[in-house]
Amino acid sequence: MTVGRFITFEGIEGVGKSTQLARLQAALTAAGREVVVTREPGGTPLAERIRALVLHDRSEPMPDAAELMLMFAARTVHTENLIRPALARGAWVLCDRYTDATYAYQGGGRGVADQAIAPLARLAQRGLAPDLTLLLDVPVAAALSRARARTAEADRIEAETQAFFERVRTRYLERAALEPARVRVIDASGDIAAVEARVQAALATLAADGRG
């Protein structure tokens, strides 16, 4: 039985997911919620080991299907061992990326068919879905220039081309159009405070849904 809220942040590298997730965590914590902040791939010790394999192991080529299944292996562990228990005790779970990212990156970016992704998503999620997904959106060039300003070294996927990220962004926007009630597209241009205000506005509908 799910009693908390499951909120996911999506968007390409550099749009401001980590920044806005931290802002929302602070606001919800100040409002007295138990907040669990987590990320994909990863979020538990075992899932983080899978993350290291899928994002940082460059020892040999990674077939697209292997990348896809590692993402879902990590997601299954994370969903069962962290997300579901947190929601059951009433926590608000803020997750940096979830299954929409697989449709965007492995689907849009790599070209894996939706028909390959959908059954794995059902297996991993067993009926769980985000209550709200915040898709932070800015043009690719702007997002990548923000991402480049960070010091961290690019992982296997972050090292992809601008054309790859254009396909990822397009697929994200298509996903949002398919499920407009769940996925809110947030204009992530402008300064951090302006984007935070747009996130808060999207959250207001969720907080008012009567589930406490």
Ligand X SMILES: Nc1ncnc2c1ncn2[C@@H]1O[C@H](COP(=O)(O)OP(=O)(O)O)[C@@H](O)[C@H]1O
Residues in contact with 19: Cβ distance below 8 Å, sequence separation at least 6, in sequence order = 192, 195
State how far the alpha carbon of 174 is from the alpha carbons of 26, 108, 136, 155, in Å.
30, 10, 13, 25
Pick the stretch among 51-59, 98-106, 167-175, 191-199 that binds ligand X (CB under 6 A).
191-199
Q: Which of residues 21 and 120 has its CB atom nearest to ligand X in the complex?
A: 21
Query: Residues for the chain: how many in total?
Result: 212
Question: Strand order in 5-10's β-sheet?
Answer: 35-39, 92-96, 5-10, 132-137, 183-187
Pick the stretch among 9-17, 49-57, 174-182, 187-195 that binds Mg ion (CB under 5 A).
9-17
Q: Output the smallest distance, CB 68 to ligand X, in A.
A: 21
- For ligand X (CB under 6 A), the number of binding residues is 15
State how far the alpha carbon of 196 is from the alpha carbons of 12, 22, 179, in Å.
17, 10, 22
Tell me, residue by residue from 112 to 151, as one string, x for binding to ligand X by CB under 6 A and - for no binding. ----------------------------------xx-xx-
19 binds ligand X per the rule CB under 6 A: yes
25 binds Mg ion per the rule CB under 5 A: no
Residues in contact with 108: Cβ distance below 8 Å, sequence separation at least 6, in sequence order = 167, 168, 170, 171, 172, 174
What CA–CA distance (Å, rounded) separates 2 from 4?
Answer: 6
18 binds ligand X per the rule CB under 6 A: yes
Pick the stretch among 9-17, 29-37, 99-107, 169-177 that binds ligand X (CB under 6 A).
9-17
Residue 97 Cα to chain centre, angstroms: 1
- Paired strand residues for 94: 7, 37
Residue of 4, 6, 8, 16 interacting with ligand X (CB under 6 A): 16
State the residue for tokens 């397009």: 170
Pick the stretch among 17-25, 163-171, 174-182, 200-208 that binds ligand X (CB under 6 A).
17-25
18 binds Mg ion per the rule CB under 5 A: yes
Q: Output the smallest distance, CB 40 to ligand X, in A.
A: 12
Instruction: By CB under 6 A, name the binding residues for ligand X.
Output: 11, 13-19, 146-147, 149-150, 191-192, 195
Instruction: By CB under 5 A, name the binding residues for Mg ion.
Output: 17-18
